[in-house]
Amino acid sequence: MIWFGSLPLAVSLPLFIGVFVLVSCLIVVGLRPVVRRLVDDPEQWDRVLGHVIGTFGVFFGILLALVAVSVYENYSATRQAALHEAGQLTAFYRGTTGLPEDVASPIQQTIDEYLVVVIEQDWPDQRRGSLPDASVELVDEMERQIHEYKPADLQQLAEFQQLLATFDDFVETRRERIDATTLELPGLFWLAIWVGAAVNAVLIGLIIVKSRRLHLLMAGMLALFIGLVMFTTADMDRPYQGSISVGPGAFERVMNQIEDMRTEP
């Protein structure tokens, strides 16, 4: 379902839901004559089938719920990592203002370059599912520039140590943001979900309902909901792809904040 992320939501969502509901209804149409021909005691059949559907529904519902919650937690953690990295970068920039001008200026220039590279190169790579590496050299450059500075007194030493701590936090959160690029549910989970959806459609098709329209309506509504849950889960499965994704907005705001700080009297 990854290719759905390359389509607009207005196209991918109706397309997926429509196909999902259509397949479920076709299963019902195909099974109705088979059930009528094979079942001798409809009352006993409905009683047994009701027990099976009830038991299956509990386990399948729990599976969908756990997977959806897990995917949302991954998405939320990735978003927090991006926000935290942007916040640490802002704090790091502010910390450089206490350094001598000849030391602070090159570091601040490197931070500016880092923001541009993250927005224009790292994020497109992450949307494609590739680990970004364009900004690695700039991080190394910032580290080299920091360690070239030699504090002259205790006050400068304290400010320097605080700056190093902020830089270390920034590097750590950056690693979390990059590691989330390949974050996704294991394939076994998706296999279980698809098999569960297929079994659900078959079980609904095995119910004996006199009215075919009513039977199709029941199957279609249930397929609509299950398909919507599956689509939403798949859309959030990769945090940087799909219509529900983490964007570079936090870093764009940092750029604006830095520009505002420079224009302040």
Confidence of residue 184 (pLDDT cuts 50, 70, 90): confident
pLDDT at 230 over 80: yes
Confidence of residue 3 (pLDDT cuts 50, 70, 90): low
pLDDT at 215 over 90: yes
Query: Within a domain: residue 165?
Result: yes
- For 23-73, the pLDDT digits (tens) are 999 999 999 999 888 888 888 888 888 899 999 999 999 999 999 899 999
State the pLDDT at residue 59: 93
Report the chain's mean pLDDT, rounded to a whole number.
Answer: 88
Query: Within a domain: residue 182?
Result: yes
pLDDT at 265 over 90: no
Query: Within a domain: residue 4?
Result: no
Mean pLDDT of 154-161: 82
Query: Within a domain: residue 110?
Result: yes
State the pLDDT at residue 138: 92
State the pLDDT at residue 37: 87
> pLDDT higher for 213 or 154?
213
Domain coverage including residue 90: 9-263
pTM of the model: 0.83
Mean pLDDT of 123-152: 88
Query: Within a domain: residue 127?
Result: yes
Q: What is the DSSP secondary-structure string of the chain? A: -GGGGGS-HHHHHHHHHHHHHHHHHHHHHHHHHHHHHH-S-HHHHHHHHHHHHHHHHHHHHHHHHHHHHHHHHHHHHHHHHHHHHHHHHHHHHHHHTTS-HHHHHHHHHHHHHHHHHIIIIIHHHHHTTPPP-TTHHHHHHHHHHHHT----SHHHHHHHHHHHHHHHHHHHHHHHHHHGGG----HHHHHHHHHHHHHHHHHHHHS--S-HHHHHHHHHHHHHHHHHHHHHHHHHHSTTSSSS---THHHHHHHHHHHHHHH--
Query: Within a domain: residue 3?
Result: no
Range in 7-21, 75-89, 165-179, 221-235 with the lowest mean pLDDT: 7-21
Confidence of residue 2 (pLDDT cuts 50, 70, 90): low
**pLDDT above 90 coverage of the chain, percent:** 53
Query: Within a domain: residue 1?
Result: no
**pLDDT above 70 coverage of the chain, percent:** 97
Query: Within a domain: residue 2?
Result: no
State the pLDDT at residue 245: 86
Q: How many domains does the chain have?
A: 1
- For 252-264, the pLDDT digits (tens) are 999 998 888 777 6
